[in-house]
Structure 1
Amino acid sequence: MIQFITHSNERYDHVEGAKLALQGGCRWIQLRMKDAMEIDFLRAAKKIRRLCDEYHATFILDDHVEWVGLTGADGVHLGKNDMPVDEARKILG
């Protein structure tokens, strides 16, 4: 399975990029907005969640365990410098 990790550039924002990836057949999207303000992250996450539902795709957040329930994400990606997995499991249930 191919995973698309969102990014923005002069042509596309995170949501538009995710939509293009989904239209192209990708069924696994990771929202990665490292330096975004919370409101911007959550706004993009909710839009991408709806797109992933429409395309029957998995939706993952990068780093933000605390926002999985709030956004309806399917899970979270944790890197080696992020929260320990056992701590994330306690938060997610």
Structure 2
Amino acid sequence: MKGKGQHKRNPVATLLGQRLKACRIEAGKSQETLAFEALVDRTYISAMERGVANPSVETLANICYCLGITLAELFEPLTISLKPTGTRRSNTAEPEEIKRQRLR
């Protein structure tokens, strides 16, 4: 069982977080400043940099804009395998049977 503050880290999210942190530092911004400019909480910036958050593309685009880089520049140097790294949920629910009635 995981203790408080421990999260399962995805290798893709971890690499992205490291890259995001490097870009932030290169831009000379603190987590607080970047969070304010990108309209997110500072703790979310921290979680992304640690690889425990899964930001949306829109959030990443906002952050990249604030850092003065493009999404392509954020991802370009990453050597990420495209092979799925985690287990995916499967939809095991079966839909209810639809009973049709004739209208008279």
TM-score (normalised: structure 1): 0.29
Q: Which has the higher contact order (CA 8 A, sep 6+)?
A: 2
Larger Rg: 2
Q: Which has the higher strand share?
A: 1
TM-score (normalised: structure 2): 0.27
